[in-house]
Amino acid sequence: MISVTIDGTPVTVPENTTILDAAKLLGVHIPTLCHHEDLCVAGNCRVCMVEVKGSRTLQASCATPASDGMEIYTNSRLVRTARKHVIELLLSEHRGDCLRCYRNGNCELQALANEYRIDQGVFIDLHKEDQVDISSPAIQKDDSKCIRCQRCVRACTELQSVSALCVAHKGADMRITTFWDKALAYVVCTNCGQCVTHCPTGALTERNYVEDVWDAIYDPTKHVVVQTAPAIRVSIGEEVGLEPGQRVTKRLVTALRRLGFDSVLDTDFTADLTIIEEGNELLHRLTKAVRDKEDVALPMITSCSPGWIKYIEHEFSNHLDHLSTCKSPQQMFGPLAKTYYAEKIGVDPKDMVVVSIMPCTAKKFEAARPEMMASGLRDVDYVLTTRELGLMIRQAGIDFTKLEEGDYDSILGKSTGAGAIFGATGGVMEAALRTAYELITGREIPFENLNIKPVRGLSGVKEATLKIEGTLEKYKFLEGVELKVAIGHGLANARKIMKQLESGESPYHFIEIMACPGGCIGGGGQPIPTTDEIRTKRANAIYDEDEKMQYRKSHDNPEIIEIYEDFLKEPLGHKSHELLHTSYVK
Ligand code: HC1
């Protein structure tokens, strides 16, 4: 441990603690822009400068370790003046159309300019042409608002191992760009949106479809169906002023009705459906491999996360046969809404508009993929992020705290705890194991074993082994098999898992991969900020939701039973293949 004084107050901290973190321990806030706790130190914005006694220059507190006996001043005249100049310089290169900016009110640069009362300045437009890249259906990049802090570049490289964004040129010409300066739609971007959630300003945002959705709602000829992703119910609260980690499912339903959606339905329902289809697919592959000794692609890997799908298509396209052919729950919902549900409620599918509320920017890209037209129409018309839904709720003047509770419509509205936990890393695996156990053994999983703890939490790659015992007669060939599973979240972890698979050393039968750190609760469309502390609160809320549900296993969902009896007939059957399964692009 070492001792330092900060603004005259002594504090003891572990060795190698940065000045920034030492100050935090003491409750002293030092402003930063390039720093983000998810990312490595950059030290390039210089906003966090502090004075250290005996040092000739001011020091970047995020990049300077405290040393024993250091005397640090975070708020001296020198520091304040220098900090103010840095903010002025950043503002001089930043298009300050704050009133029209999507991040107005949630922009770190705006907050600092306000705090330091920067009331005049000159904007030097460094990037006159092609400032706004709207080539991607998911993400928008506006260089005129970029402060070159490189948080996006680090998120893309460190968290996601994608490196679609990079730094080019030097000095005043320096900019954040892509390989050969191509538009986002034409590079290896996975649309995951981690650049967006790590951007301090409005330089990177999701493509916003709020007005299109309002138009659909106001159109009396349209029946507008909304589906809500598992993670939304534990994060939308943050967009309307609640603390992270609040479960607001029933109020969310009421808010959506108040906004004017005609049918309020749930992606958790199709998450349950995914478990049935994917669980049977896994059993089918295991049967071929273990009983029939056929050469079949194992491990099978989940396919719910569209950022992950784009990543494997770009980076490991020789291994696409390992992906489950199941569409994601979002894309299972779309064609079911425009066929089965449309018929049930007597609406012409052409007059139906399907809107998804997702914690994910890549879902916008997924919905726009040409193969996602199993209903004969575009299956999902618009995808809004949690942030966009928050905006609609605020625009409509809805006070979330005063909303009464509501229930989802039926059918495609009922779900189980297994569907809910899809939103956290490890959740798909846990849901699948709950169902697989009962499918294989014909016995009910003991209540105390419903929470499968080894697959939970924020470790980058998690693994578990389950010995299969006491099988039904038809699965006798699986008796004694040790089922090995792994879970990865964040594409840098996906790369590790895929490298192992590529080298022929993957010991697993089944792998879950989610593109974003923490899974969908940490998705690129989630409230900003998102940090590990917030991810943990959202995940805990998801598990709490699960424990409070009437049903906790997908195969117990009465609406799932009904849709098979009524329409799909059997898992992996003809209708399922037509509507619920897909193939991938090399
Ligand atoms: Fe997800 Fe999924 S869990 S991918 O993380 O499988 O986005 O929440 O909706 O489709 O259900 C996201 C979340 C979401 C799908 C489901």
CATH of the domain at 138: 3.30.70.20
Cα 355 to ligand 1 centroid, rounded to whole Å: 14
Within-domain flag for 243: no
Select from 303, 336, 360, 428 the residue to mutate for testing ligand 1; criterion: most ligand atoms less than 8 Å from CB.
360
Cα 115 to ligand 1 centroid, rounded to whole Å: 38
- Pocket around ligand 1 at a 6 A CB cut-off: 229-231, 267, 271, 304-305, 328-330, 358-360, 363, 422-423, 514, 519-520, 523
Contact 50, 72 (CB under 8 A): yes
Q: Which of 323, 331, 328, 329 is nearest to 285 (CA)?
A: 323
Select from 267, 332, 361, 389 the residue to mutate for testing ligand 1; criterion: most ligand atoms less than 8 Å from CB.
267
Within-domain flag for 389: no
Cα 358 to ligand 1 centroid, rounded to whole Å: 7
Q: Which residue, judged by its Cα, is nearest atom 12 of ligand 1?
A: 520
Kindly state the tokens that stand for 143. Answer: 């260089």
Res 448: pLDDT: 86
Decide if 366 is catalytic. yes
Within-domain flag for 246: no
* Residue 512 and residue 430 share a domain: yes
From the list 238, 520, 537, 554, the catalytic residue is 520
Decide if 371 is catalytic. yes
Decide if 48 is catalytic. no
Cis ω before 529 (30° cut-off from 0): yes
Where is the domain boundary, 179, 206, 233? 206
* Residue 564 and residue 436 share a domain: yes
* Residue 455 and residue 306 share a domain: yes
User: Which atom, in ligand 1's list, is nearest to the CA of 329?
Assistant: 10
* Residue 64 and residue 109 share a domain: no
* Residue 283 and residue 163 share a domain: no
User: Which atom, in ligand 1's list, is nearest to the CA of 519?
Assistant: 5
Cis ω before 299 (30° cut-off from 0): yes
User: Which atom, in ligand 1's list, is nearest to the CA of 328?
Assistant: 10
By residue range, what is the domain housing residue 155? 102-120+130-206
* Residue 442 and residue 521 share a domain: yes
Whether this prediction's pTM lies above 0.90 is answered by yes
Cα 117 to ligand 1 centroid, rounded to whole Å: 42
Q: Which of 364, 357, 327, 384 is nearest to 229 (CA)?
A: 357
Cα 268 to ligand 1 centroid, rounded to whole Å: 8
Return the residue matching tokens 């193939």.
583
Cα 520 to ligand 1 centroid, rounded to whole Å: 6
From the list 366, 512, 545, 559, the catalytic residue is 366
In sequence order, what DSSP letters do the residues of 397-440 get, joined into one string?
A: T--GGGPPP----SSS----HHHHGGGSTTHHHHHHHHHHHHHH
Rounded Cα gap, residues 496 and 158, in angstroms: 13
From the list 371, 405, 547, 570, the catalytic residue is 371
Helix (H) or strand (E) holding 51: strand 49-52
Helix (H) or strand (E) holding 356: strand 352-358
Q: Which residue, judged by its Cα, is nearest atom 14 of ligand 1?
A: 229
Select from 278, 330, 355, 512 the residue to mutate for testing ligand 1; criterion: most ligand atoms less than 8 Å from CB.
330
* Residue 555 and residue 470 share a domain: yes
Within-domain flag for 82: yes
Q: Which of 280, 267, 384 is nearest to 332 (CA)?
A: 267
Cα 23 to ligand 1 centroid, rounded to whole Å: 38
Rounded Cα gap, residues 319 and 303, in angstroms: 13
Where is the domain boundary, 191, 206, 221? 206
Decide if 278 is catalytic. yes
- Burial of 240 from C-beta contacts in 10 A (0-12 / 13-18 / 19+): buried
Res 130: pLDDT: 57
Where is the domain boundary, 206, 221, 255? 206
List phi, psi (to 5°) of 191.
70, 15
CB-based burial, 521-552: b 16+ in 10 Å, e otherwise: bbbbbbbbbbeeebbbbbbbbbbebbeebebb
Rounded Cα gap, residues 286 and 200, in angstroms: 47
Rounded Cα gap, residues 157 and 261, in angstroms: 39
In total, how many domains does the chain have? 3
Rounded Cα gap, residues 363 and 525, in angstroms: 9
Helix (H) or strand (E) holding 364: helix 362-368
Rounded Cα gap, residues 331 and 366, in angstroms: 8
* Residue 192 and residue 62 share a domain: no
Cα 305 to ligand 1 centroid, rounded to whole Å: 7
From the list 93, 239, 277, 278, the catalytic residue is 278
Within-domain flag for 378: no
Contacts for 570 with CB less than 8 Å, ≥ 6 apart: 564, 576
* Residue 165 and residue 281 share a domain: no
CATH number of the domain to which 502 belongs: 3.40.950.10
Res 127: pLDDT: 61
* Residue 55 and residue 108 share a domain: no
Within-domain flag for 560: yes
Rounded Cα gap, residues 247 and 237, in angstroms: 8
Cα 7 to ligand 1 centroid, rounded to whole Å: 47
Select from 191, 233, 422 the residue to mutate for testing ligand 1; criterion: most ligand atoms less than 8 Å from CB.
422
* Residue 474 and residue 565 share a domain: yes
Please compute, for residue 147, the number of CA atoms within 13 A of its CA located in the half-sphere on the CB side. Answer: 28
User: Which atom, in ligand 1's list, is nearest to the CA of 358?
Assistant: 7
Within-domain flag for 173: yes
User: Which atom, in ligand 1's list, is nearest to the CA of 306?
Assistant: 4
Q: Could you report the average pLDDT of every consecutive run of 10 residues in the chain (586 residues)?
A: 97 97 97 98 97 97 98 98 95 90 97 89 65 95 95 98 97 92 97 98 98 98 99 98 98 98 98 98 97 97 98 98 98 98 98 99 98 98 98 98 97 98 98 97 91 96 96 97 97 98 98 98 98 98 98 98 98 98 94
* Residue 138 and residue 55 share a domain: no
CATH number of the domain to which 6 belongs: 3.10.20.740
Q: Is 479 helix (H, G, I), strand (E, B) or coil?
A: coil
* DSSP 8-state symbol, 208: P
Within-domain flag for 152: yes
From the list 51, 108, 277, 281, the catalytic residue is 281
